[in-house]
Amino acid sequence: VDEIGALPLGVQALGTHPQKTEKRNEGQTDIPVTFGGVTFWPGDCVVCDNNGIVVHKKDMLRRDEGQDGAKK
């Protein structure tokens, strides 16, 4: 845990789940994954800080769109 805390990467965790994985020697991309009862879909925007995590279907950090979604 101390080593993870020293990384220049934000890590949020409520606990651990030492479940052995099924080794299939393949990688998968663009699939939904579920952590802590929340499903993350490809393209979701995830914003985190020390107070929590927000998952949004739209990129909330894009600066090239106005409030109404119109391109600037």
Q: How would you label 11-39 residue by residue, b for 16+ Cβ within 10 Å and e otherwise? A: eeeeeeeeeeeeeeeeeeeeeeeeeeeee
pLDDT in tens, 19-57: 777 888 888 899 999 887 888 899 888 887 778 778 888
- Predicted structure pTM score: 0.47
| DSSP secondary structure letter of residue 41 | P
More confident residue, 66 or 60: 60
